[in-house]
Amino acid sequence: MKILVAVKRVIDYNVQVRVKEDNSGVVTDNVKMSTNPPDDNAVEEAVKIKESGKAKEIVAITVGEEKAQETVRKALAVGADRGIHVKVDGMIEPLAVSKILQKIVDKEKPDLVFMGKQAIDDDCNQTGQMLAALLNWPQATFASKIEVKDKTLEVTREVDEGLETIEVNVPAIITCDLRLNEPRYASLPNIMKAKKKPIEQINAADLGIDTKPRIDQIKVEEPPKRKAGIKVANVEELVQKLKNEAKVI
């Protein structure tokens, strides 16, 4: 099998995001960027499947500006075989990303496409499902366990009520939950080796996809601030406050 893994470059999950003063977006200059966390799980799972002998090749892909390549390089360092970087500048919506990925799937013909279930920047949670729709492939979203069978996958999905298990035929799209696995760190020798692995660059415009946003971001604001709280001295005071001041118990 061949697995395509999509990764996105986002503001690192540990960074306290700040809104720009002109309300046009959030501050990204001199801010640490990383691979979207559940995309790391997607890469890890693909590598594990390859290590088990059930996949032959892993292709890592990202869609974004020049520096987005770093995320592909990281995937190469933990076990992807080669990379694709589809270059687009500026904001790009999940619908356009999924159309780009569809073009790449048509060309690369993978059996599986893996990606994180949600990007932690726009929190859209759309791309995998959209790609599945465009390809008319089955989708298994929010996967926390994947069992690769002959021509099918059995996937455990994290849903509101608990866990759901479905079986999807290959080819399929899987979006990964953080609980799917524990992503490994790249070793120094592997980071060095990854520098020699090829990354193909493609301009989104050459794929004939219109990436112009359909949604105007009118403004971005800070959420309302919470009133500063107090520290209570002990449990008695806490219960008193909850009963008599907040009146919630």
Partner 1 sequence: MSSLLIAEHNNKEVKPFTLNAITAASQIDPDLHVLVLGHNSETVAKSISEIPNVKKVIHVDNEIYNNYIAENFTSAVVKHAENYSHIICSANTFGKNLMPRIAALLDISQVSDIIKVISADTFLRPIYAGNAFATVKSNDAKKCITIRPTSFEPAETSGGSAEIVKGDAGEQSNHTKFIKKEEIKSDRPELGTARIVISGGRGMQSGENFKLIQDVADKLNAAIGASRAAVDAGYITNDHQVGQTGKVVVPDLYIAVGISGAIQHLAGMKESKIIVAINKDGEAPIFSVADYGLEADLFDALPKFLAELNKLNTIQK
Out of 4, 11, 86, 100, the residue judged to bind partner 1 by CB under 8 A: 11
Counting every residue written for the chain, the total comes to 249
Contact yes or no for 208/93 (Cβ under 8 A): no
How big is the site for partner 1, counted in residues (CB under 8 A)? 83
Q: How far is the CB of 147 from partner 1 (least distance, A)?
A: 11
Given the rule CB under 8 A, which of 58-66, 71-79, 106-114, 124-132 is the region that contacts partner 1?
Answer: 124-132
Residue 235 binds partner 1 (CB under 8 A): yes
Sign of CA dihedral 122, 128, 129, 133: positive
Residue 118 binds partner 1 (CB under 8 A): yes
Q: How far is the CB of 4 from partner 1 (least distance, A)?
A: 17
Q: How far is the CB of 222 from partner 1 (least distance, A)?
A: 7
Out of 65, 81, 87, 120, the residue judged to bind partner 1 by CB under 8 A: 120
Q: Which of 51, 96, 79 minimizes the C-alpha distance to 184?
A: 79
| φ, ψ dihedrals at 113, nearest 5° | -120, 125
First-to-final CA distance of the chain: 57
Question: Could you say which residues in the range 212-231 bind partner 1, by CB under 8 A?
Answer: 213-223, 226-227, 229-231
Q: How far is the CB of 246 from partner 1 (least distance, A)?
A: 5
**Measured distance CA(112)–CA(203) in Å, rounded:** 23
Residue 141 binds partner 1 (CB under 8 A): yes
Question: Could you say which residues in the range 45-84 bind partner 1, by CB under 8 A?
Answer: none
Given the rule CB under 8 A, which of 44-52, 61-69, 199-207, 237-245 is the region that contacts partner 1?
Answer: 237-245
Residue 33 binds partner 1 (CB under 8 A): no
Residue 90 binds partner 1 (CB under 8 A): no
Question: Could you say which residues in the range 154-193 bind partner 1, by CB under 8 A?
Answer: 154, 157-169, 172, 177-179
Residue 93 binds partner 1 (CB under 8 A): yes
Count the neighbouring beta carbons within 10 Å of the beta carbon of residue 59: 22
Count the neighbouring beta carbons within 10 Å of the beta carbon of residue 179: 14
Ramachandran bin of 192, using left for φ above 0, alpha for ψ from -120 to 50, beta for the remaining angles: alpha
The residue written with tokens 């059930």 in the block is 54
| φ, ψ dihedrals at 24, nearest 5° | -90, -10
148, containing H or E segment: strand 139-148
Residue 126 binds partner 1 (CB under 8 A): yes
Given the rule CB under 8 A, which of 47-55, 60-68, 107-115, 133-141 is the region that contacts partner 1?
Answer: 133-141
Q: How far is the CB of 123 from partner 1 (least distance, A)?
A: 6
51, containing H or E segment: helix 37-51
Between 72 and 148, CB nearer to partner 1: 148
- Alpha helices per DSSP H over 79-119: 94-108
